[in-house]
Structure 1
Amino acid sequence: MARRALVHIGTPKSGTTFLQSLWWHNAAALADQGLLLPGGSADVQFQASAVVRDNADVLATMGPLQLAAWDRVVDEVAAWDGDALVSQEQLVEASGASAAAALSRLGDVADEVHVVITVRDLVRQVPSAWQQRVKHGSATTLRKFFTRVAKDDPDFNFWHHQDVPRILARWSAGIPAERVHVVPLPRPGADRDLLWRRTCELLGIDDTGLSLDAPVANETLAPAEIAFHRAVNAHFRNAHLDVALSRRVKAFMEPRLGSAPGHRIGHRIALAPGMHAWLVERGNRMVDELAAAPWHVVGDLEDLRPDPAPSDGVDPDAVPDSEVLAVAQDFLAAELLARAQPADGGAVSEPHSEPPEGGSRTALGRVLRRLTGGR
């Protein structure tokens, strides 16, 4: 029987990929310290979370072994005498009934059950969440996405993932307040290891001797790259709502974007003034709710208050055609280069980015029609 079962439920885009990559990279060393990552891989924990959430679309893609992932995780926790950590950001989606059932099962195999949530300020979360939707196949603009966000509908996907007080209301029933932990993501410019140190404090990890170079990164795309991605997504209607198609789009596009420095220099996403002001007010309201709650905070809730001054950057819905076409050229050249390596291992010229004169949406359309087989 475990001493503590800790469930890190998200939120998405709050440093979860960074933390999970470090935890799994050091899984053996953490087990030596008494911290088990049950399931043996992040994939198994994702499958277990799909069972907990009763996500029908994902469950339909899983076989019998995968459908038993949650049972295997619970059994491993039961057989462990130290602490155990389950970390999967999609757990924020769970209904109150599903969360209560999962915590009850863990309560049967651990002396204490703890809920952990990492949180990021809303001004940074909205463009990140929108970009993640694009990576999964959505063709929607940032402005249209924000319009949905600003309705503050608790049933909208964004708020189901990011309204932390409501999420914890679903996940904290029957759990002592001191065992519900809120870990704020540090402000921009803070020591990049500060979030890691906050979680080490909570988990009782001594990171001496651990490998702290995260082997996996969730790349942020430049505005021109996002615009190109959206143009491709437009050829696959509602891909982000089809689990199998979304996975194919993401698997093909993601490795081929995010690595071209020429498209990234000085190109941060900027929110329109009205968007920024609304999110500052809503973000401060959420911080006030968290400050009034009894949950344990690891770090400083003030890190979650958005900067009242809008940051400089690029409107991702108005990227010049020439920049989008340059991304398309680099994308296709890199793909062709990868597929055309000589059998004898000889050299192939590296692709370079020089947009043709008169580059336009028309030219991009021709590129995309070829990329998608004429769709």
Structure 2
Amino acid sequence: MARRVLVHIGTPKSGTTYLQSLWWHNRTALADRGLLLPGGSADEQFRAAAVVRDNAGVLATMDERQRGAWDRVVDEVRGWDGDALLSQEQLVEASGASASAALDRLRSVAGEVHVVVTARDLVRQVPSAWQQRVKHGSPTTLRRFFARVAKDDPDFNFWHHQDVPRILERWTDGLPPGHVHVVALPRPGADRDLLWRRTCDLLGIDDTGLSLDAPVANETLAPAEIAFHRAVNAHFRNAHLDVALSRRVKGFMEPRLGGAAPQRIALAPDVHAWLVERGDRMVDELAGAPWHVVGDLDDLRPDPEPGLGVDPDAVPTAEVLAVAEEFLAAELLARADPPAAPARAVREEDSGAAESPSRTALGRVVRRLTGGR
């Protein structure tokens, strides 16, 4: 039986990818220090979470063995005598009944059960959550997404994922307050490793000698890239259901991630003000709760002053077209048939040299897109 099992349930977009990348990258070393990541992979923990949530859509894609992921994770925790860590942000979606059943199951295989939530301020969370929706096929503008957020409907997907007090109501059945941990994501400009250090303190990990250079994708797109992505989604209304199209767009976007820091997304003054007020109320509620806070709750209070940035709903057409041109070029080059033989290379300065069909087609499309410029 494990000494402790800690269940990190999210929230999404609160440093989860960063933390999970480092945990799995150091899995063997962490096990040597007494911390088990059961399941053997992040994919297995994702499948286990789908079983906990009883997510019909995901379960339908899993075979019989994969649907046994939760049982295998629990059995592995039972056979461990140190601490165990489950980390899967989709667990925030679990109903109260599903969460209680999962906690009861874990109580049978560990001396203590702990729930961990990482959280970030709402002014940063709303644009990030909206962008994630765009990447998954939504053509919705940021303004329209915010209009749904501002209704403050607890059943709206955003609040189901981001209203930390309500999430903890679902996930703390029978847990002592000291076994419920809220980890605050540091403010922008803080030391890059501060979130990692906060979780190390919570987990009781000495990270001396651990590798902290695991590759972590920067999942943020530039405003023009988001606008282009939305345009694709609007034209192909079911793009997220078309596997081939989704892979094509994703294959174009992913190599662009992790480069130079994109421009900051700007929120309209009324949007910013509403999120500041709502974020402060959430922090006040957490401050009055008995949960254990790791870090500083004030890090979850949005900056009252709007920062500089770009309105992603009003990106100049020329910037969106520049992204579209790159996409078309990559598409046409990928589709072009290779030459039958290594013919003499045509130099650009050769007078009258014929362009390749792909370049000719690209030229026509680009000229049409750009109004002949």
- Letter of the 1:69 counterpart: A
Q: Contact conserved, 2:239 with 2:246, CA < 8 A, in 1? A: no
Q: 2-side partners of 1:32 and 1:21: how far apart?
A: 18
Provide structure 1 residue ranges, at least 5 long, that are not aligned to the other structure.
Answer: 350-354, 366-375
- Letter of the 2:107 counterpart: G
Q: 2-side partners of 1:172 and 1:189: how far apart?
A: 32
CA gap 1:321/1:31 in 2 versus in 1, 3 angstroms: same
Q: Pairwise CA RMSD of aligned residues? A: 3.0
- Letter of the 1:106 counterpart: L
- Letter of the 2:145 counterpart: F
CA gap 1:46/1:281 in 2 versus in 1, 3 angstroms: same
Q: 2-side partners of 1:293 and 1:265: how far apart?
A: 37
Q: 1-side partners of 2:261 and 2:83: how far apart?
A: 43
Of 313, 317, 338 in structure 2, the residue corresponding to residue 317 of structure 1 is: 313
CA deviation after TM superposition for structure 1 residue 3, in Å: 0.6
Q: Contact conserved, 2:220 with 2:262, CA < 8 A, in 1? A: no
CA gap 1:222/1:356 in 2 versus in 1, 3 angstroms: farther
Q: Contact conserved, 1:224 with 1:316, CA < 8 A, in 2? A: yes
Count of residue pairs brought into register by the alignment: 356
For residue 317 of structure 1, give the secondary structure of its aligned residue in structure 2. helix
Q: 2-side partners of 1:207 and 1:131: how far apart?
A: 33
- Counterpart residue number, 1:326: 322
Q: 2-side partners of 1:247 and 1:14: how far apart?
A: 28
Residues 71-94 of structure 1 deviation map (CA, whole Å, 9 limit, x = unaligned): 111011011111111000010000
- Letter of the 1:302 counterpart: D
- Counterpart residue number, 1:286: 282
CA deviation after TM superposition for structure 1 residue 237, in Å: 2.6
- Counterpart residue number, 2:231: 231
CA deviation after TM superposition for structure 1 residue 256, in Å: 2.2
Q: 2-side partners of 1:126 and 1:310: how far apart?
A: 14
- Counterpart residue number, 1:124: 124
CA deviation after TM superposition for structure 1 residue 336, in Å: 4.6
Structure-1-length-normalised TM-score: 0.87
CA gap 1:260/1:39 in 2 versus in 1, 3 angstroms: closer
For residue 234 of structure 1, give the secondary structure of its aligned residue in structure 2. helix
Q: Contact conserved, 2:2 with 2:79, CA < 8 A, in 1? A: yes
CA gap 1:364/1:248 in 2 versus in 1, 3 angstroms: farther
Q: State the structure with more CA Rg.
A: 2
CA deviation after TM superposition for structure 1 residue 239, in Å: 5.1
- Letter of the 1:333 counterpart: A
Q: Contact conserved, 1:220 with 1:258, CA < 8 A, in 2? A: no
- Correspondence 1:288-307 to 2 at 5 A: 288-307=284-303
Q: 2-side partners of 1:265 and 1:177: how far apart?
A: 39
Structure-2-length-normalised TM-score: 0.88
- Counterpart residue number, 2:3: 3
Q: Contact conserved, 1:271 with 1:310, CA < 8 A, in 2? A: yes
- Counterpart residue number, 1:254: 250
Residues 256-275 of structure 1 deviation map (CA, whole Å, 9 limit, x = unaligned): 226559x9676221000000
Q: Contact conserved, 1:222 with 1:264, CA < 8 A, in 2? A: no
Q: 2-side partners of 1:61 and 1:321: how far apart?
A: 39
- Counterpart residue number, 1:186: 186
Identity, in percent, stands at 76
- Counterpart residue number, 1:352: none
